[in-house]
């Protein structure tokens, strides 16, 4: 059985909850990513912030990204466990119409799964079927 651990991207770097959205944007640029997990002082996962959050919920609303903290954008957190099956991962991403999901082991962040990871896993034979990919794409992109 393919699990979240088999397909996740390791080495996810957190932004601290007390860092600004401007800092988050620079980190995303430097790491060439579109999302960052948010961690508290205890190093536990508190949320996730996307480049779209910064643009739509900060800049487009006339707020200053240098004044807003990452935690201000955290919202409801959806994550999966490292041992969860890919069916569980896909179902959660589809259900919440999200394109990236943090992976935890116990209470620690161990990786992230993005739609690019799903595509690469499919291409590399990680037992993602054509039907699973089609259903994911339909639910995330077509039902909005």
Asked if residue 80 lies in contact with residue 103, where contact means CB atoms within 8 angstroms, the answer is: yes
Domain boundaries, position 45 = 4-142
Read off the DSSP letter of residue 59.
G
Backbone angles phi, psi at 13, to 5 degrees: -100, 130
- Which residue has better confidence, 28 or 117? 28
Mean pLDDT of 55-82: 93
pLDDT value, residue 86: 87
pLDDT value, residue 122: 53
What is the DSSP secondary-structure string of 30-41? HHT-SEEEEE-T
Cα–Cα dist 38/48, whole Å: 5
3-state secondary structure (DSSP) of residue 77:
coil
pLDDT value, residue 126: 57
Average pLDDT over the chain, rounded to an integer? 87
List alpha helices for 32-114, DSSP H. 51-57, 86-95
CATH classification at residue 54: 3.10.580.10
Residue 74 has pLDDT above 90, yes or no: no
Residue 117 has pLDDT above 80, yes or no: yes
Asked if residue 92 lies in contact with residue 100, where contact means CB atoms within 8 angstroms, the answer is: no
Confidence of residue 120 (pLDDT cuts 50, 70, 90): confident
List alpha helices for the chain, DSSP H. 4-7, 21-31, 51-57, 86-95, 115-123, 130-137
pTM of the model: 0.82
- Which residue has better confidence, 121 or 81? 81
Question: Domains in the chain: how many in total?
Answer: 1
For the segment 77-86, what is each residue's pLDDT rounded down to a tens digit?
A: 899 999 999 8
């Amino acid at each position: 059985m393919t699990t979240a651990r088999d397909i996740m991207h390791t080495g996810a770097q957190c932004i601290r909850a007390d860092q600004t959205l401007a800092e988050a944007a620079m980190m995303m640029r430097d790491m060439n990513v579109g999302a960052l997990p948010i961690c508290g002082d205890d190093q536990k996962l508190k949320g996730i912030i996307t480049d779209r959050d910064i643009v739509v919920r900060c800049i487009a609303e006339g707020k200053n990204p240098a004044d807003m903290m990452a935690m201000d954008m955290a919202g409801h957190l959806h994550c999966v466990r490292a041992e969860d099956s890919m069916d569980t991962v896909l179902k959660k991403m589809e259900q919440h119409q999200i394109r990236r999901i943090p992976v935890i082991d116990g209470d620690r962040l161990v990786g992230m799964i993005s739609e690019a990871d799903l595509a690469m896993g499919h291409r590399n034979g990680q037992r993602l079927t054509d039907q699973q990919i089609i259903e994911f794409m339909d639910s995330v992109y077509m039902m909005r």
